[in-house]
Structure 1
Amino acid sequence: MLHGDSSQIIREELLNEYKNKIQLIITSPPFPLNYKKKYGNFKGEEYKDWFANLAPLYSDLLTEDGSIVIEIGNSWEPHRPVQSVLHLESLLAFMKAANLNLIQEFICYNPSRLPSPANWVTVNRIRAVDSYTHVWWLSKSDFPKADNRKVLRPYSQGMLNLIKRQSYNTGKRPSGHSIGEKSFLKDNGGGIAHNLLEFEPIESKRINRLPNNITEFVRLNDNPELPSNVLSIANTNSSDYYSKKCRELEIKRHPATMQAGLIAFFTQFLTDENDLILDPFGGSNTTGYISEKLKRRWFSIEIMEEYIEQSIFRFQEPNFETNLIKLKNI
């Protein structure tokens, strides 16, 4: 994990040795907010220019079949109940700056997010809660390395019953699609993941059908009853070892950590063991933690030294297996 400005570190330290060698760049950069955060962030046109200037650096580091995965939230116009389009303009500028393709957009729904923008949601009561973020999957190639068979969700009980009885309602649907007699009878080991990701189920009693190889990083619903049609990732950032250790030592933890399950999903989906992963805005280094668990090589970059110090807790988790050198205690 490297300390400093990510653009500077990439230019001065990484590009010479790691050009075209990084398989996945996954990160949650500062959002285009209309007020200053402790870690520093740009606003308006300044933000769009800053964001677009990152694209050539990332593209140069990426393998030809590599991927960039960026999580970013919405922003609102200053002092107005009007949603900004700055995040969309920034995405287009980012893609244009390095001739990147938008492979697919994912939506991350998180009902635990505080009601925002507060002035228009909880004070004046004229807007709905902004409860999701965008995840953009970008690549230089039309065909980045990806395999959705590595992130299959367990079948719903209904699908398991269908496979068992080997029959279902075939024929033409109102949509015009024709469903063959054997189209859904093969057991493929699970269902293909959807591009709507939940951090808590929309229906409280619905099963969290998370890919089997990601369950190590999240806590699943203990009382599943209803089938899910989306990827449900338990929102466990406040109950993981890192967070507990910060509370124990009365340390103010990073305020906007990426979800471990989200990073694990894309790591499994888009990389293989020993591939190289980079998080240019590492924060408390969830990406490094997940990469280490999944036997990927990794770099993280973070400008706030206190968050780097905190990140050591992740690798001191009991029973955490790693080849890293002995870590110092805080």
Structure 2
Amino acid sequence: MALPTPLYTTDYGVAYVGDSLELLDRLESDSIDLVITSPPFALQRKKTYGNVEQEDYVNWLFEFCKKVYRVLKSTGSFVLDLGGAYQSKRPVRSLYNYRILIKLCDELEFRLAEEFFWFNPAKLPSPIEWVNKRKIRAKDSVNTVWWLSKTDNPKANVSNVLVPYSDRMKKLQAEPQKYYKPKERPSGHDIGKNFATDNGGAIPSNLLEIPNTESNSSYIQLCKSISIPPHPARFPQKLPMFFIKFLTEPGDKVLDIFAGSNTTGFVAEQLQRNWIAFEKDLTYLASSSFRFLDKSQNPKDTLTLYEQLLYQHDSIYLTTSKQLALKL
């Protein structure tokens, strides 16, 4: 069964409204290079974006992951961002994000290629009861990000995500004899004279420090211009950018099954990767189109686009020149 008419398209991507459980069945097997997503978290308090109760969460998410496994290429990757949570009315952490990992590896034969941790230094102290009021816990500011694959050797190139060298390393490279003498370390590692070679950057760690402080993007500004609320649980562009650069090449296909405000699609477009976005909330996906427009867009035109996306019957094409080109 073919996919339905997309809500909108761009040069590299297509955005569909619908339940991912149904839409995933319409994709070919072994057709996707990277699935990267941040599903609604298993929180105790209901959120406007529709999170699932903790006791049901693992089985609920597992149904999506079974279908992700089918559509993923043997060289592909599945990157799953999951926030932590506390048990109801207790200062005790939930293990749901670890249980889903174990279930995926034990029952679907996913491999854990590597675990990553997204540290958001801008995150507000929470939960209020244990951190702010009773002051018996530190604030929760780290998400677990599982990098999963169908085989032991998924496509990956860490050279694409090198980070700047530290000041100390720059000094070492400039004058290696002054700061460094090759020798075996107490750990047993034999670090030779090539240690000071400039390789264009340092290998990143699996701790990704990325503040989630989007405030001046075209998406936020255009939402404000027509008085509609932005998606309440956006993740920062640098998070999908890291994994798309790391795990894919230009022309590869990237899928987000809980697209929300479609940060993944926007980043994939910038990096010339083909992308697919699935999101069941029409209003969220309609406003996600603003990511592909200039923030100086006339509010009247922005509102026209938004209303057309809400009530249309044909797909709207957004040009990469950030000027509206409507196919109605």
Contact 2:84–2:143 under 8 Å retained in 1 = yes
Contact 1:52 1:97 in 2 (8 A): no
Change (3 A) 1:299 1:85: same
Q: Which residue of 2 aligns with 1:217?
A: none
Q: Verify: 1:305 aligned to 2:286, yes or no.
A: no
| Aligned-residue offset at 1:127 | 1.0
**Alpha-carbon distance between aligned partners in 2 of 1:293 and 1:237, rounded to the nearest angstrom:** 17
Q: For residue 100 of structure 2, what is the amino acid of its counterpart?
A: S
Q: Is 1:242 matched up with 2:240?
A: no
Partner SS, residue 127 of structure 1: coil
Paired amino acid for 1:193: P
**Alignment-derived partner of residue 146 in structure 2:** 136
CA distance in 2, matches of 1:91, 1:21: 23
TM-aligned CA deviation for residue 318 of structure 1: 6.1
Residue identity matched to 2:236: Q
- Partners of 2:122 and 2:291 lie apart in 1 by 23
**Secondary structure of 1:184's aligned partner:** helix
In structure 2, C-alpha distance between the alignment counterparts of 1:61 and 1:325, rounded to whole Å: 33
Aligned partner of 1:61 among 31, 51, 71: 71
Letter in 2 for 1:91: L
Is 1:2 the counterpart of 2:16 in the alignment?
A: yes
In 2, the alpha carbon distance for the partners of 1:286 and 1:172 equals 45
The residue type paired with residue 2 of structure 1 is Y
Q: Which residue of 2 aligns with 1:177?
A: 189
The 1:314/1:63 distance shift into structure 2, 3 A limit, reads: same
1:1-330 maps to which residues of 2 (within 5 A)? 1-11=15-25, 13-14=26-27, 18-167=28-177, 168-180=180-192, 182-200=193-211, 235-317=212-294, 322=320, 326-327=324-325
2:160 partner amino acid: K
The letter of the residue matching 1:173 is R
Q: Is the 8 A contact 1:101 1:142 kept in 2?
A: yes
The offset of 1:256, in angstroms, is: 0.8
Structure 1 CA distance for aligned equivalents of residues 265 and 129 of structure 2: 37
Alignment size in residue pairs? 290
Q: Tell me, what secondary structure is at the counterpart of 1:19?
A: coil
8 Å contact from structure 1 (residues 24, 278) kept in 2: yes
Structure 1 residue 325: Cα displacement = 9.7
Residues 109-143 of structure 1 deviation map (CA, whole Å, 9 limit, x = unaligned): 11221211111111111111001111110000111
Name which structure has the greater RCO, CA cutoff 8 Å, separation 6+: 2
Change (3 A) 1:327 1:117: farther
Q: Offset of 1:313 from its aligned partner? A: 0.7
- Secondary structure of the 2:233 match is coil
Q: TM-score, normalization: structure 2? A: 0.83
SS in 2 for 1:120: helix
CA apart distance, 1:45: 3.4
Aligned-pair CA distance for 1:169: 2.8
CA contact (8 A) 1:105 1:195 kept: yes
Matched with 2:313 is none
Greater CA drift, 281-290 or 182-191: 182-191
Q: Give the residue type in structure 1 aligned to 2:267.
A: I
Residue 37 of structure 1: how far off its partner (Å): 2.1
Shift of 1:324: 9.4
Unaligned runs of at least 5 residues, structure 1: 201-234
Q: Deviations over 1:269-326 (max 9, x none)?
A: 1000010000000000011111111111110011111111111110112699728994
> After superposition, what is the alpha-carbon deviation per residue over 1:54-76, rounded to whole angstroms, capped at 9, x for unaligned?
22200111111100001111111
Identity %: 41
C-alpha separation between the residues in 1 aligned to 2:321 and 2:231?
Answer: 25
Of 61-70 and 33-42, more deviation after overlay is shown by: 33-42
Give the aligned residue type for 2:215. S
